[in-house]
């Protein structure tokens, strides 16, 4: 029960602000500063209940992360909410369950997390 939420975001201030929000709502948080770091964490056995994903990031961006995640069955199951004003018509857009453009309304973010979070 209560698996962590993986926040993939290159902006350290945004990461820690989201952490405060999520933790104040009793959710555990794991951070990754780019797609590559996130993939490594997932491969190391971390099993998040949901992923909050930024798109514009150095080293490995959000789209690359989605495409990598889709090709590895072990990582594929966690739902992804894209936290960015990214293009919803992107060929990989179907790999995300929801798109929330920044600055996200926190209540809506929490509701969406509740909707898609998979604790089991």
Residues that bind another protein (CB under 8 A): 11, 13-14, 17-18, 20-21, 24, 36, 55-62, 64, 83-85, 101-107
Nearest partner of 52 among 99, 105, 90, judged by Cα: 99
Shortest Cβ 56–another protein spacing (Å): 4
Query: Strand (E) positions, 14-112?
Result: 29-32, 50-53, 80-82, 98-99
Q: Which of 60/78 has CB closer to another protein? A: 60
Give CA–CA dist 95/11, Å, rounded. Answer: 23
Shortest Cβ 2–another protein spacing (Å): 18
Shortest Cβ 60–another protein spacing (Å): 6
């Amino acid at each position: 029960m209560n698996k962590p939420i993986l926040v993939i975001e290159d902006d350290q201030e945004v990461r820690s602000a989201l952490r405060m929000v999520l933790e104040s709502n009793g959710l555990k948080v794991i951070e990754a500063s780019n797609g590559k770091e996130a993939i490594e964490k997932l491969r190391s056995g971390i099993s998040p209940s949901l992923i909050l994903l930024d798109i514009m990031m150095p080293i490995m961006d959000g789209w690359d992360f989605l495409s990598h995640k889709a090709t590895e069955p072990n990582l594929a199951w966690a739902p992804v909410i894209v936290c960015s004003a990214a293009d919803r018509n992107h060929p990989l857009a179907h790999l995300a369950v929801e798109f929330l453009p920044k600055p996200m309304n926190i209540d809506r973010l929490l509701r969406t997390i509740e909707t898609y979070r998979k604790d089991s």
